[in-house]
Amino acid sequence: MFNHIENYAGDPILSLMESFNNDARFEKVNLSIGLYSDENGVTPIMDAVAKAKLVLKALNNSPSLYLPMSGMPSYVKQVQQLLFESTPSAQAQNKIATIQTLGGSGALKIGADFLKKSYPNSKLYVSDPTWDNHIAIFTGAGLEVAYYPYFNKSTGTVDFKNMIDFLETLDEKSIVLLHPCCHNPTGADLSNVQWDVVIRVLKEKNLIPFLDLAYLGFGDGFEEDAYAIKSMTQSGLSFLLSNSFSKIFSLYGERVGALSIICGSEQEANLVLGQLKATVRKNYSSPPTYGAQLIDVVLSNIELKRNWLDELECMRTRMNTMRTALYAQLIKIGADKNKFKFLIEQKGMFSYTGFTSQQVKTLREEFAIYLVASGRICLAGLNRNNIKRVAEAFLTLTEKTNTVSI
Ligand code: LMR
């Protein structure tokens, strides 16, 4: 019956995690998946989350009922407050339709299905490059996906002029997927001034923006990283926003996120919310409870929220320290200053090394250092114990082949 089924070659990111776990070499270093590890190489349970778990344990007697299709109402309210804190009027006017989702990927999938139904002829544009799963999710929902220019390989920064020139050519109602901060995979972000220009073009050309937010607070800081959301909301544009709490609450396994659609009016938001519920029902009926409860407890308590924001800031600082330390170590052992400068210029959890897939293979096979085939590294996998070895391997590889192009 199933003889004809195609072999699955594996996911470019998640399959690496399995290979890493099966690698018996003691010195192995995981710089592949976007998973935050602390200085000891451990993915932490955040203190605010641990406290929220105790709160929930004490209340543990309630039966496990189905949540509404749109998720837990108090969680949804907290998510809106967190993301639209600086633009309270959109919230006050009930112009935002928000649902709880299965992580950021779940939000993208519900958003993709919603767009395919509401705008069946619209094409979706993603940055070149983007997170591999963006393409899988949107093509899986039946949307046609194409790239817009984004990354300049020779400078390691955003190819802004080409990006804008391209966006200006798009048909109206085209969908444009953007990363509000900590671009995945490149770590090359738009500046605030550049965001203003992008927003102006989106508005002039009547495009549909879809912001994918998984790393809020990992770039320049929590408020700073929210600039695109704030200005897009203030601009009056209607847009979609998917957000994930996997990384910023270190709650990967709970699959907790949200999809918000910022509409033109309360009436529009009600209609949109209805369609989002219908889309959820068709996909998985309703979301799970526990992760949303944890986040609700943290965000609704001033002290726990402060606690969480402080911990988030520590994660950000550690990743930045690792960026600087890796760069300094490379220079110390003789690397060309300019070749690796991208490390200290790019932001967030990732950087794009420019290593070819062959070099990435060599790093894995000869040095037990795991990167994504595109050359993306996750800075959170670095620590004081492995940074020297990683720098030496990077330099050896660069000298051997001399092809790091950034
Ligand atoms: C990543 O980009 O590594 C993360 O978002 C994890 C994933 O699901 O790919």
Span 339-345, average pLDDT: 94
pLDDT for 402 equals 54
Identify which of 16, 30, 33 to mutate to test ligand 1's pocket (most ligand atoms within 8 A of the CB). 33
Of 216, 96, 123, which Cα lies nearest the Cα of 177? 123
For residues 60 and 12, what is the distance between their CA atoms, to the nearest angstrom? 39
Cα(13) to ligand 1 centroid in Å equals: 6
pTM of structure: 0.95
7-11, 113-117, 291-295: least confident range:
7-11
**Which residue, by CA, sits nearest to atom 6 of ligand 1?**
34
**Higher pLDDT, residue 338 or 258:** 258
Q: Given a cut of 90, is residue 364 above it in pLDDT? A: yes
Atom of ligand 1 nearest to the CA of 246: 5
Q: What is the DSSP letter of 119?
A: -
Question: CA-CA distance, 368 to 314, in Å (whole number)?
Answer: 28
Q: What value does the mean pLDDT of the chain take?
A: 95
Q: Which pLDDT does position 89 carry in this prediction?
A: 76
- Residue where the block lists tokens 């760069």: 327
Whether ligand 1 lies within 6 angstroms of the CB of 370 is answered as no
Kindly give the distance from the C-alpha atom of residue 17 to the centroid of ligand 1, in angstroms, as a whole number.
Answer: 10
Q: Is 104 in the pocket of ligand 1 (CB under 6 A)?
A: no
- Alpha carbon 189 to chain centroid, angstroms: 13
* DSSP notation for 306-359: HHHHHHHHHHHHHHHHHHHHHHHHHHHTT--TTTTTHHHHS-TTEEE----HHH
Which residues, including other chains, have CB under 8 Å from residue 82's CB and lie 6 or more apart? 299
Count the neighbouring beta carbons within 10 Å of the beta carbon of residue 373: 18
Q: How far apart are CA 312 and CA 305, in angstroms?
A: 10
- Which residues belong to the active site? 131, 212, 247
Q: How far apart are CA 345 and CA 284, in angstroms?
A: 41
- pLDDT tens-digit profile of 198-220? 999 999 999 999 999 999 999 99
| Pocket of ligand 1 contains residue 13 by CB under 6 Å | yes
Report pLDDT digits (tens) over 219-278. Answer: 999 999 999 999 999 999 999 999 999 999 999 999 999 999 999 999 999 999 999 999
The rounded Å distance from CA 155 to ligand 1 centre is: 25
Q: Answer whether 131 contacts ligand 1 (Cβ < 6 A).
A: yes
8 Å CB contact between 348 and 215: yes
Tens-digit pLDDT profile for residues 151-174: 999 999 999 999 999 999 999 999
Q: What is the pLDDT of residue 404?
A: 53
Query: Which numbered atom of ligand 1 lies nearest the CA of 33?
Result: 3
Return the minimum-mean-pLDDT range out of 52-66, 276-290, 330-344.
52-66
Cα distance between residue 297 and residue 254, in whole Å: 15
218 within ligand 1 shell (Cβ under 6 A): no
